[in-house]
Structure 1
Amino acid sequence: MQHPTLFFDDGDIVLSANTPIGEPWRFRVHRLTLSTHSPVFARILNERSQVEQVDTDGIQAVDNVRSLKISEPAVDLAALLQCLYYPNDMPFKLEEPTVKVDLAGLLRLCKKYDFVQLVSQVVDQLKYEWPTSLALYEVHESRVREMGIAHAAAPQGLIDRKYLDDRLPEPASIIRLSHEFNIPELLPAALYALALISPTADYDTFHSRAARMSPELAGKLARLTRSARWSLLIPADLRALAIGRDQLRSSRALTRVFEARPHGATCASGCAALLAALRSLADDTHDILGALTYLRLYISEPERAPKLKICAQCAAVTCRTIAVLRLRIWTSLPLWFKVAGVKCTE
């Protein structure tokens, strides 16, 4: 079966790779393109024994085009070739979460055939999506919050027939990828994301065909429930996750700094209400970073200010305290989740 966009009439090599349904995809591409980007392909294509003349509907026989069998999945090969031929339409982009392509499969293929530049691009994408910088994490946090608001307002929580969980990378896969390719910088953000997901929420169960017919599972996804592939984790990951979760629970005690802060006599009740809201948010979501952000946004909205019953000075001090707490928690993640040699920064 010819690939619809990666089968060029003037190509001089046909790459074939298997699909899950058994019928291989064929990609008619150019030796020069492969050889320029990959020294491994350059060597293989120069060895005549590695390629064979094949007859597929007469095309290869007429044009004397030879074929090379690739053992990796066709979907990964398609992603790699798309990066080479359509660099302005990569299957991953900084401005959106990567779910259209399996970055682990793509990275595996790039490393095997030594596509050095593409390996660097994929790793940069991963580090961007799972950052050690709090400033960059806040960019993603804001994006996910906006996506969540949109899905919460959509019928059955679906946008373009996708739940929020369909549109965000799955953290257990990223943790496994970080081990396989030695990219420990991904672990703090990925483990934090995983710590917010219930162990009962299995990704493959939630996203099976049967789940779409289950009112219970469909209802959970509609309520923005996240899921993970828990079976991918090794015992060391589970231990780090358990320790990190305990530390996150303890971090809620950091909010006591608000209690010691002096406040005006006219806004004591307002400050107490904000503290109660923060505790409730942290207890309900286990997401102390998210709870602090929500509290800051709540205070900062001009239309809410008259209703908060706190003075401008208390609001400003509270926002500064929130920023300090978030940074303290963020920089503690490598220690809490036992990630050696990695620092989380501003």
Structure 2
Amino acid sequence: MLSLPPSNEAESYDGVPLVRMPDSAEDLERLLEVLYNQPMLRLKRFDPNTPHVVKPLLTLANKYDIQHLRKNIVHTLEEDWRQTLSEWDELEHYAEGKAKTCYRDLDQYREPEEFPDLHLPEAASAIRLARHCNIPSILPAAFYHLSRITIENDWDKTHVTHTNDHIPEYTELVAGARTARWDLVTREDFVCLFLGKERMKTMVDYWGKGGNSAPSHPHPGTNKPECDYKNWLKIWGVVERKCQQSSDVLKTLSDVDDILTSAEKPTMCYTCDEAVTTGLDDLRNKIWDNLRNYFALPA
């Protein structure tokens, strides 16, 4: 842009060509600061404010084709919004650990320093950024996470000065309840959100009724009590019911012991028991792999 030869109509200032840049001075200053003083942009891991911090930089990186800066930012966002189910599970364990630490402080009559939610990615701002700056890779995980959060848990209304004397949400926040900046969610993304939630539940229902790729009974036609087909159907009926009632299907399916206990688990042979566990794992992977389709997201 700066090296293009000037035309006869080009503006000049003090005898040199003038290039007008419509971007805000604050954003340009931040961009130049990163390029000259911080060539490797350092961003805090899992910071819920990362989308807000990087949006001006990413917008300018796209506009002026600064590829190394864009790649750096996108890489950080993809680490916050996991790309595989195993990575997602690791992040969930990290979140649970944060919640246990805060809850332990509360249990010992100490004021927790911060809520776990302040150390974990925030979905609504991430989705808004991904739409604005074309980062489709983070959308599936961000939409799934947002689908787990009740609209009553609004970031701006919740993260104010709390005391456990009169704020009912206080204990929930300490225990790991997540919030979202719901005011950033567009009408179109609300449609995608509700569509995805319905499609996930439909998928589980279809799977439980023996749909495509559903697990089949390991011992068809057997008369052994421990391999009774009715017991097999009973367990998958519990899976379907629990998922229909859950706002976090992936977490529900990961708790095999809870599912089997709720089914008043009959005596099962080792092969049947393993088939249930494998089936639940396969269903989790299938749901994760199809999040983009469920929420009608771009590739």
Displacement of 1:174: 0.6
Partner of 1:134: 85
Q: In the alignment, is the contact (CA less than 8 A) between 2:218 and 2:275 conserved in 1?
A: no
Secondary structure of the residue that 1:215 maps to in structure 2?
coil
Secondary structure of the residue that 1:216 maps to in structure 2?
coil
| Counterpart pick for 2:60 among 93, 107, 112 | 112
Displacement of 1:183: 0.9
Partner of 1:208: 160
| Counterpart pick for 1:313 among 264, 267, 271 | 271
Displacement of 1:103: 3.5
* 1:17-75 deviations in Å (ceiling 9; x for gaps): xxxxxxxxxxxxxxxxxxxxxx99xxxxxx99xxxxxxxxxxxxxxxxxxxx952499x
Partner of 1:233: 185
The CA distance in 2 between the partners of 1:163 and 1:83, in whole Å, is 33
Evaluate the alpha carbon distance shift between residue 159 and residue 277 of structure 1 in structure 2; reply closer, same or farther with a 3 A threshold: farther
Displacement of 1:90: 2.9
Confirm or deny that 1:290 pairs with 2:251.
Answer: yes
The residue type equivalent to 2:81 in the other structure is: W
Q: In the alignment, is the contact (CA less than 8 A) between 2:147 and 2:193 conserved in 1?
A: yes
The residue type equivalent to 1:250 in the other structure is: T
Evaluate the alpha carbon distance shift between residue 282 and residue 129 of structure 1 in structure 2; reply closer, same or farther with a 3 A threshold: same
The CA distance in 2 between the partners of 1:185 and 1:239, in whole Å, is 19
The residue type equivalent to 1:186 in the other structure is: I
Partner of 2:19: none
Evaluate the alpha carbon distance shift between residue 90 and residue 248 of structure 1 in structure 2; reply closer, same or farther with a 3 A threshold: same
* Structure 1 residues 136-175: aligned runs within 5 Å: 136-155=87-106, 161-175=113-127
Gaps of 5+ in 2: 4-12, 15-23
Evaluate the alpha carbon distance shift between residue 160 and residue 209 of structure 1 in structure 2; reply closer, same or farther with a 3 A threshold: closer
The residue type equivalent to 2:295 in the other structure is: F
Confirm or deny that 1:261 pairs with 2:181.
Answer: no
Q: In the alignment, is the contact (CA less than 8 A) between 1:151 and 1:163 conserved in 2?
A: yes
The CA distance in 2 between the partners of 1:149 and 1:278, in whole Å, is 27
The residue type equivalent to 1:140 in the other structure is: L
Secondary structure of the residue that 1:109 maps to in structure 2?
helix
Normalising by structure 2, we get a TM-score of 0.70
The CA distance in 1 between the partners of 2:36 and 2:234, in whole Å, is 53
The residue type equivalent to 2:194 in the other structure is: A
The CA distance in 2 between the partners of 1:331 and 1:161, in whole Å, is 37
| Counterpart pick for 2:132 among 170, 180, 184 | 180
Evaluate the alpha carbon distance shift between residue 260 and residue 83 of structure 1 in structure 2; reply closer, same or farther with a 3 A threshold: farther
| Counterpart pick for 2:38 among 60, 72, 84 | 84
The CA distance in 1 between the partners of 2:244 and 2:292, in whole Å, is 22
Q: In the alignment, is the contact (CA less than 8 A) between 1:274 and 1:295 conserved in 2?
A: no
Confirm or deny that 1:71 pairs with 2:26.
Answer: yes
More strand by share: 1
Displacement of 1:168: 1.2
Normalising by structure 1, we get a TM-score of 0.62
Q: Which has the higher contact order (CA 8 A, sep 6+)?
A: 2
Confirm or deny that 1:102 pairs with 2:102.
Answer: no
The CA distance in 2 between the partners of 1:293 and 1:283, in whole Å, is 15
The residue type equivalent to 2:280 in the other structure is: I
Q: In the alignment, is the contact (CA less than 8 A) between 2:55 and 2:129 conserved in 1?
A: no
Displacement of 1:336: 1.3
Q: In the alignment, is the contact (CA less than 8 A) between 2:124 and 2:146 conserved in 1?
A: yes
* 1:140-168 deviations in Å (ceiling 9; x for gaps): 23333443444454426989512222221
Gaps of 5+ in 1: 1-38, 41-46, 49-68, 300-306
| Counterpart pick for 1:336 among 287, 294, 298 | 294
Larger mean CA deviation between 261-270 and 133-142 belongs to 261-270
The CA distance in 2 between the partners of 1:153 and 1:281, in whole Å, is 29
